[in-house]
Amino acid sequence: MNILNQKFQTPHQTAPFSQISNDMFLPAFEKAIEKARQEIDDITENTSPATFENTIAALDYSGQELDRISSIFFNLNSAETNDEIQSIAQKVSPLLSEFSNDITLNAKLFDRVKRVYFQKLELKLTAEEEMLLTKKYKGFARNGANLNETDKSKLRAIDKKLSQLKLKFGENVLAETNAFEMLIEDEKDLSGLPDGAKEAAKQLAESKNKTGWLFTLDYPSYIPFMTYADNRALRQQLSSAFGSKGFKGNSYDNQSNVLEIAQLRYERANLLGYDTHAKFVLEERMAQTPEKVNTFLNNLLTKAKPAAKTEFERLQDFAKDKDGITQLEKWDSAYYSEKLKQELFQLDDEQLKPYFKLENVVNGVFTIANKLYDLNFEKVDNIDTYHEDVETYLVTNTKGEFIAVFYADFFPREGKRNGAWMTSFKPQYKLDGKDSRPHISIVCNFTKPTKSKPSLLTFNEVTTLFHEFGHALHGMLANTVYPGLSGTSVYWDFVELPSQVLENWCYEKEALELFAKHYETNEVIPFDLITKIKESATFNEGMQTLRQISFGLLDMSWHNANPENIKDVKAHEMQAFINTNLYPDVKENCMSTAFSHIFQGGYSSGYYSYKWAEVLDADAFEYFKQEGIFNKDVANKFKNYILSQGGTQNPMDLYIKFRGQEPQPEALLKRAGLIQ
């Protein structure tokens, strides 16, 4: 029997990766879908009257085997993919989409859900049960259960097509990333680059039997080159390759995929009775409406734009004085920003990196989690992984009770998409009196150790690790009854609060001294460097804010109107960026064709949520700072009302329970240096 369809006989029932072969997935999915269908039939064929337990709870606990296989497979498709896995994904995605529609369009099932929903006032439900009931009912209504049969068929066709298009979009971006290489054979073209970046590039070239230094579009290769390389023409070459992903008119071109995804989402929303995809999405967000999101983004734009323009002019003048550059281009941004930052603060990443050895930063975030939330992390080697780079940890509390399994996957490789993310292989839930604990993973793309140096992180990578670990805490500390409300199963504009708030500890002396130690001397990071980190934290913040706002506005431009008249992806994008542009346009570049967050991930009509959550996190951290960044009372409130509650209550209610008030936007503007 297929191991994927059995209860895993492993420590804590972790995924037995080494025993799984790719050819097992498709039959395992088919069998699990069959089993999940049977579980749904058991609910609909039940002759007893519909109750919360026999309908709503039963529905939430159904399909666990399928969910488990899905999480294993799609995590591999992101972190360790290959042609075979991508081919399976193209076959599996329509099956899952069809099965999902079979549930939401199942009239008998919806009838039972409705019966419970419309008697909810008499049922004396807990807050969590009431939230689950509302979520299940809306899940049906928002996915077509109230449609007639003809429209249900249309919805099925749209969902099936969308699942395939989103996969294709992501595959194209990955293929474009992997297809580009810049081989440098003349050492003088490496001028300005730190030794670590040169060594990594040489090692990469050697691994591919090439002579010289090899640079790619993977972040640990791309970012140091764009930040430090003196050769402007090569920076332009790399920047243009990065900016033109999915926009070259070749077999990996994403323009038609973008147009079709936007159009299908619009048609889907209309079918369900919504004017636009954004209206459909935002109904289930803290922000609630597109108008509110646009007001939020435009208010921020008003505050950030004057600062951004001033910062840009300062950068332009600096580049002109330094190198006679009369027009600052996109490929100059990171380079001159870094040079100016060094001049203003006598601080650069190369100074800081020796204090941020990866292992020390990991131990630091573990120590902080221990001081705040009483968690212990023990590295173990008896848990199977999908790649030798992946580390595994057993997470317990101070009483020695098992809390979670934690996976950490830190380095780039060919089958792994760019960026950083948190995910889970198994959610937390309670069933039959037993608390089933979660398996949580973070995936990053940090510089690998070289022959002479360990993995040393830039400060930006340190904050990335803390960010993803904040999401991981949200998953690990989950304490809910139902899997559908557990961990990060919250509104998307609330999900970034735990991740973004944890980044704040990276700037605090009390926290930095726990882990920022020189990898050779073990000397704690000097106080003057800590001061400089804090002082430089708001450097070019206006420009950074403007950039994030521009992505949010681009997202809304695709999803808050009828896209049928958009024929030219690039022209549409130019219009969306009209109020946020600082740099001249590069005609070969296009953001949308590689904007995976909104066209492949779950951020469509939701990119604003990064900034929205920053308002929450700045306000939340203000509370920590008032009482002490390791204050147990505040930490317990954050754990009890935010980290453990998942989606069991309205997020604003949870936030007020933690903070005692609604979040104040001034905290963010003050932290960003945009107001005094």
Give residue 674's pLDDT band: very low, low, confident or very high (50, 70, 90): confident
Q: Where are the alpha helices (DSSP H) in 105-189?
A: 107-117, 127-141, 149-179
pLDDT per residue over 269-325, tens digit each? Answer: 999 999 999 999 999 999 999 999 999 999 999 999 999 999 999 999 999 999 999
Please compute the mean of the pLDDT values over residues 237-266 and round it to a whole number.
Answer: 98
Going 60 to 61 to 63 to 69, the CA torsion angle's sign is positive
* pLDDT over threshold 90, residue 350: no
Please compute the mean of the pLDDT values over residues 560-584 and round it to a whole number.
Answer: 97
pLDDT at position 675: 79
- The full 3-state SS of 359-421, as one line of letters, equals HHHHHHHHHHHHHHHCEEEEEECCCCCCCCCCEEEEEEECCCCEEEEEEEECCCCCCCCCCCE
* pLDDT over threshold 80, residue 525: yes
Give residue 532's pLDDT band: very low, low, confident or very high (50, 70, 90): very high
Residue 171, SS3 per DSSP: helix
Tokens at residue 348, please? 């650069």
Topology given in CATH for the domain delimited by 354-537: Neurolysin; domain 3 (1.10.1370)
Catalytic residue among 468, 496, 541, 573: 468
What H or E segment, with its residue span, contains residue 424? strand 421-426
Residue 524, SS3 per DSSP: strand
* pLDDT over threshold 80, residue 577: yes
3-146 — its CATH code?
A: 1.20.1050.40
pLDDT at position 348: 84
pLDDT at position 216: 97
pLDDT at position 664: 84
pLDDT at position 105: 87
Give residue 672's pLDDT band: very low, low, confident or very high (50, 70, 90): confident
* 8 A C-beta contact, residue 454 and residue 362: no
Angle at 573 between CA 77 and CA 171, to 5 degrees: 15
Residues near 45 by Cβ (< 8 Å), separated by ≥ 6? none
What is the amino acid identity at position 627? Answer: E
pLDDT per residue over 376-394, tens digit each? Answer: 999 999 999 999 999 999 9
Q: Check if 3-146 and 354-537 are the same fold.
A: no
Give residue 415's pLDDT band: very low, low, confident or very high (50, 70, 90): very high
Q: What is the dihedral of CA 385, 387, 393, 394, to 10 degrees?
A: 0
pLDDT per residue over 469-482, tens digit each? Answer: 999 999 999 999 99
pLDDT at position 349: 84
Give residue 671's pLDDT band: very low, low, confident or very high (50, 70, 90): confident
Tokens at residue 281, please? 């999405």
Pairing of strands 182-184, 375-380: unpaired
Give me the phi and psi of 357, to 5 degrees please: -65, 135
* pLDDT over threshold 80, residue 336: yes
pLDDT at position 493: 86
In the chain, where are the structural domains located? 3-146, 180-243, 354-537
Which of 176, 532, 155, 138 lies closest to 355, judged by CA? 532
pLDDT per residue over 144-169, tens digit each? Answer: 999 999 999 999 999 999 999 999 99
pLDDT per residue over 69-82, tens digit each? Answer: 999 999 999 999 99
Give residue 432's pLDDT band: very low, low, confident or very high (50, 70, 90): very high
If you average pLDDT over every residue of the chain, what do you get?
Answer: 95
How many CB atoms neighbour CB 82 within 10 A?
12
Annotated active-site residue 185? The verdict is no
How far is residue 144's CA from residue 162's CA, in Å, rounded to a whole number? 16
pLDDT at position 3: 96
* pLDDT over threshold 80, residue 676: no
Please compute the mean of the pLDDT values over residues 519-524 and round it to a whole number.
Answer: 97
pLDDT at position 481: 98
